[in-house]
Amino acid sequence: MSVDNKVPEIRIKNFSGKWYEVALSSVIDVRSGKDYKHLGKGNIPVYGTGGYMLSVDSALSNDEDAIGIGRKGTIDKPCILRAPFWTVDTLFYAVPFPGFNLEFIFCLFQKIEWKKHDESTGVPSLSKIAINNVPVYATNELEQTAIGNYFQKLDTLINQHQQKHDKLSNIKKSMLEKMFPKQGKTIPEIRFKGFTGEWEEKILNNEVGLFSGLTYSPSDIRKSGTLVLRSSNVKNGQIIEADNIYVNPEVVNCSNVVEGDIIVVVRNGSRSLIGKHAQVTSRMNNTVIGAFMTGIRCKQPAFINALLDTNMFTSEVEKNLGATINQITNGSFKSMFFMFPTEDEQQEIGNYFQKLDALINQHQQQINKLNNIKQACLSKMFV
């Protein structure tokens, strides 16, 4: 952006001229939310800082769309509110004055670093005065509308992919519950055609091979060399780049990961991250896992990866966590018991969840890509 010239770096075709600086008090009317508990049930949505809460029979705003911004708690997650609606007292709603486009103002709200305007020493808080005093740059209503329409279409695409991602994630959650036997059962609720018979309880150590990660010191770290996968490289069941660490190859004395391996977080400062895992789905040359990780190598990695997504595995992790140190030892990992079908059925189940994971990941990648585009455009299309 160019504040000195008061024009954005990127502009929609056919628009020119300088933008002008104005305080938000000249752009929006900030109104307070109210308690809703005296209201009856209805079809008017009530919103708080966390989003939709419930529906009532009356509205604070009957015919004016607005932008919701937190008064207390979550103050940096603005949202568009379509009339009719009600907001609770922790959520302001800002109604645009004539001459200002709602979607354009929503973009401005997303650019503002609201936490810098926090007036509290405890729970984050905003006041009407703080909001009204924020300076922004605006343009004529025609350009506002063009910009607002562009970002509205971008948000629609992001929401479409998010809805598909969430739908597939819910399908996966449901199928994990139905395609693996429930506690105390030997047969799953849903099964692929042609498979019968009971599943057999087996100790994990007899079905997979486990390998340990690399212990290294800060002096071993290099700008390039052998990549060390750590807990930060595992997110949403995928292996990602995240402040990658490389070490001197001469200190490596453990197994390199190969395609099909599953890497599992077995020690971490955060108890909730123990058991987080991901399958290596492509070739990764010169790559090992860190000391707080365990690797799994087996004949049916897709099945085992799905097994580690189930509630049974989560329960086993919780049962075997150390009392004082957030970890599961290799010994306790090896001694876990799970139900297993035949190898042929394992392969069918593994293939199903592998394809489902691929679809979920495709939508997540699109969400990430579109969000990156949006952030770049918010930076370059505004002063």
CATH number of the domain that residue 58 is part of: 3.90.220.20
pTM: 0.87
- Total domains in the fold of the chain: 3
Same domain for 24 and 11, yes or no, is no
Question: Which of 73, 90, 91 lies closest to 81, judged by CA?
Answer: 91
Pair of tokens at residue 216: 């290294």
Mean pLDDT over the full length of the chain? 94
Same domain for 335 and 213, yes or no, is yes
> Is the Cα torsion angle 51, 48, 85, 109 positive or negative in sign?
negative
Query: Within a 10 A sphere around the Cβ of 34, how many other Cβ atoms?
Result: 13
Maximum distance among all Cα pairs of the chain, rounded to whole angstroms: 75
CA 56, chain centre distance (Å): 30
User: Quick check: 383 and 19 in contact, CB under 8 A?
Assistant: yes
What confidence category does residue 3 fall into, taking pLDDT thresholds of 50, 70 and 90? low
Q: What is the DSSP string of 188-209?
A: -SS--TT--S--EEEEGGGT-E
Cα→Cα distances 63→46, 148, 202, 267, Å: 15, 20, 63, 54
> Is 282 strand, coil or helix?
coil
User: Quick check: 357 and 173 in contact, CB under 8 A?
Assistant: no
Angle at 145 between CA 143 and CA 147, to 5 degrees: 70
Domain end, chosen from 138, 167, 182, is at: 138
Same domain for 111 and 208, yes or no, is no
Same domain for 215 and 323, yes or no, is yes
How does pLDDT run across 14-42, given as a tens digit for each residue? 999 999 999 999 999 999 999 999 999 99
Same domain for 118 and 181, yes or no, is no
User: Quick check: 360 and 165 in contact, CB under 8 A?
Assistant: yes
Cα gap 77→49, rounded to integer Å: 8
Angle at 376 between CA 371 and CA 382, to 5 degrees: 120
What confidence category does residue 4 fall into, taking pLDDT thresholds of 50, 70 and 90? low
Cα gap 36→55, rounded to integer Å: 10
Pair of tokens at residue 301: 């990695």
Domain end, chosen from 111, 138, 165, is at: 138
Same domain for 175 and 208, yes or no, is no
User: Quick check: 81 and 67 in contact, CB under 8 A?
Assistant: yes
Cα→Cα distances 266→210, 245, 332, Å: 12, 18, 11
List all residues 6 or more positions away from 57 whose beta carbon is below 8 Å from its beta carbon: 39, 40, 41, 42, 43, 44
What confidence category does residue 1 fall into, taking pLDDT thresholds of 50, 70 and 90? very low
Same domain for 171 and 283, yes or no, is no
Question: Which of 261, 267, 257, 342 lies closest to 308, judged by CA?
Answer: 261
Q: What is the pLDDT of residue 322?
A: 73
Same domain for 168 and 120, yes or no, is no
Print the domain residue range for 323. 200-339
Angle of helix 343-380 versus helix 141-178 axis, rounded to 10: 170
- List the CATH number of the domain containing 167: 1.10.287
Same domain for 49 and 110, yes or no, is yes
Q: What is the pLDDT of residue 242?
A: 85
Same domain for 189 and 322, yes or no, is no
> Is the Cα torsion angle 355, 357, 362, 363 positive or negative in sign?
positive
Same domain for 245 and 335, yes or no, is yes
Same domain for 101 and 35, yes or no, is yes
How does pLDDT run across 294-342, given as a tens digit for each residue? 999 999 999 999 999 999 999 999 998 877 778 898 889 999 999 999 9
How does pLDDT run across 157-216, given as a tens digit for each residue? 999 999 999 999 999 999 999 999 999 999 999 999 999 999 999 999 999 999 999 999
